[in-house]
Structure 1
Amino acid sequence: MDRVQKLKDFLQKTPNDSFLRHALALEYIKAGDDKAAREEFEGLLTHDPGYVGSYYHLAKLLERTATTEEAIAAYEKGIEQAKKAGDMHALGELRGAYEELIF
């Protein structure tokens, strides 16, 4: 069984598991399915806006698919959430990627 299907099976048991949803989105990226990855990240962040690591990956996906304004918005929201969480590591990564994009 492939990883995407395994993660989907796990999510049937625990549909609101943010870690599993993040992992599924990353697997979609690996498989080249940016649309499904974006949907998964966006659904995850709607349900759990404090899952800071997903903002970086969503924004990178948006950059890669030439939706720059949406990528900027994802970085900004991630920066805000990282500050709230006191996650200085994530904050630094998000800021660095954000600044690289806008400057």
Structure 2
Amino acid sequence: MISSLEKLLGTARDGALLRYSLGLEYAKAGEHARAAQYLRDAVERDPLYSAAWKALGRSLNEAGLQAEALDAYKRGIAAARAKGDRQAEKEMTVFMKRLEKAAPAPGKDRR
């Protein structure tokens, strides 16, 4: 599937949806850093693509980049709100809060 999608890069079909699809496929394969690259491309091409923001946050978190994941969720929530996508807004809010709760506060030891 990935190779089929990659063949479309640079063609007339290349766009946010293709980049999002590649990101999802790489995430399924466990290649979260690579997934994040394509998902970043997707949101650059369509800043209101709330599903791509959500997937980007998830991939960044899985790649161990929690601060970047939080930023992606925050930006995704704003995009979802602007687009009227209440479900995506709610989901990303939950994911963001879980991530914030799991992260130790700066200067605090979690013992």
Query: TM-score w.r.t. structure 2 length?
Result: 0.82
Distance in 2 between the 1:15 and 1:94 partners?
Answer: 28
State the one-letter code of the partner of 1:75.
Y
Equivalent in 65, 68, 73 of residue 66 of structure 2: 68
Find the counterpart in structure 2 of residue 43 from structure 1: 41
SS at match of 1:32: coil
Report runs of 4+ in structure 1 exceeding 3 Å deviation.
none
Distance in 1 between the 2:65 and 2:90 partners?
Answer: 22
Find the counterpart in structure 2 of residue 7 from structure 1: 5
Q: CA deviation at 1:40?
A: 0.5
State the one-letter code of the partner of 1:56.
K
Distance in 2 between the 1:94 and 1:100 partners?
Answer: 10
- Cα RMSD for the two superposed structures: 1.5
Aligned sequence identity (%): 29
Contact 2:73 2:96 (8 Å CA) reproduced = yes
Bigger-Rg structure (1/2): 2
Distance in 2 between the 1:72 and 1:102 partners?
Answer: 8
Per-residue CA deviation, residues 18-76 of structure 1 (Å, 9 max, x unaligned), is 22211111111122222221111111111211111011111111112221111110000
Distance in 2 between the 1:42 and 1:93 partners?
Answer: 19
Q: 1:79-94 maps to which residues of 2 (within 5 A)?
A: 79-94=77-92
Query: TM-score w.r.t. structure 1 length?
Result: 0.87
Q: How many residues align?
A: 101
Find the counterpart in structure 2 of residue 24 from structure 1: 22
Q: CA deviation at 1:15?
A: 5.0
Structure 2: runs of 5+ lacking an equivalent: 102-111
Structure 1: runs of 5+ lacking an equivalent: none
